[in-house]
Chain A
Amino acid sequence: MTERDHRPEPAAEDSDSWTEWDVPAERWLLSGYCRDQRERTVLLELAARIVFPTVIVFSLYLLFAGHDHPGGGFSGGLVAGQAFVLRHLAGGRLDDSSTLSMRPPVLIGVGLTIAVLTGFAPLLFGEVVLESDIYKFTLPVLGQIKLVTNLFLDIGVYLLLLGVVLDLLRTLGSGIEANAAAARREQS
């Protein structure tokens, strides 16, 4: 029995249209199908749904603010990870709406590669490994932009951290839950 079997049957085609008119266009509960009812808190699921984008945006703010304000790739990545942790707490392992199409190890690998290659980049301009530079320029709408080149290193770190948190959720969260569920099934 796969986990997808828990999904409710799609609404029958011939259902009366008047029952559908006030059904929200979006799913508000996380995955649209139930885990064990006793473990479910609708409040948390709803809150997770609302808070998730906010947290991601905040993590992006931290990523870009990181040069001379509190923040940076590390804390940004952790905060973004927290958003996924919240989803995990709300939806558990059955919440497949939060899975990225990229597998966490690949995310870690890409992040690490970006970070290290950024370290090499200054050599192309005849500078020392991991040296960073500040560029200031003005864009039409956004106004003056201050670009610090170690932002790219931070982006790498951000991805790496996000990957690590997702991998932890996958192995220590969902993995253990799935093991426990399998053990319960064997017992019954």
Chain B
Amino acid sequence: MTTVNLTMAIVLGGLYSAGFYLLMQRSLMRILLGIVIIGHGANLMLQLAGGPPGRPAMVGEAAPENMADPFPQAMALTAIVITFALTTFLLALAYRSWVLLGHDEVQDDVEDRRIRRMERRLAESEDDTESEATQ
């Protein structure tokens, strides 16, 4: 079982909490930054899962048992690529939203609001939806 040193644990905690804080904002740009930061956190964690840093990585530099575990590095590389691609996609989405709406805020669901309104109306007059249904 691999364990992490304290500094790295604190760094990880910082990255995750900052990321999740940003994720809860309204602006898509901030959410995007949040996702990037959590992504860095997750990839750092993958790296650390392979054992302590500082061991040689290239073939031939040391005996196989003294070398860094290549597996988490391969996984981290793949994960970094995926996060990178999706970040680009979100950026494009933010731009598109900015072009269409003039801002990049994540909005509430319109239909939810309509249903809530309907409910309020229903409370006001019982037969309102009845007449709507038979119209």
Contact = CB atoms under 8 A, between A and B. Distances in A.
A168 B88 contact: yes
Interface in A141-178: 168, 171-172, 176
A138 interface: no
A172 B99 contact: no
Question: Looking at chain A's contact residues, is the secondary structure mostly helix, strand, loop, or mixed?
Answer: helix
A74 B58 CA distance: 18
A148 B59 CA distance: 17
Please tell me the size bucket of the interface on B: under 10
A13 interface: no
Interface string B79-93: 001000000100110
A68 B92 contact: no
Contacts of B99: 179
B95 interface: yes
Interface string B54-96: 0000110000000000000000000001000000100110010
Interface string A37-57: 000000000000000000000
B59 A172 contact: no
A99 to B, nearest CB: 21
Contact of A68 (B59, B81, B88, B91): B59
A160 to B, nearest CB: 12
A107 to B, nearest CB: 17
A171 B92 contact: yes
Contacts of B95: 172, 176
Interface in A69-110: 70, 74
Contacts of A176: 95
Contacts of B92: 171-172
Nearest to B77: A74
A130 B85 CA distance: 25
Contacts of B58: 70
A104 B88 CA distance: 17
Interface of B: 58-59, 81, 88, 91-92, 95, 99
Q: 5 shortest A-B CB distances, which residue pairs?
A: A172-B92, A68-B59, A176-B95, A168-B88, A179-B99
Interface of A: 68, 70, 74, 168, 171-172, 176, 179
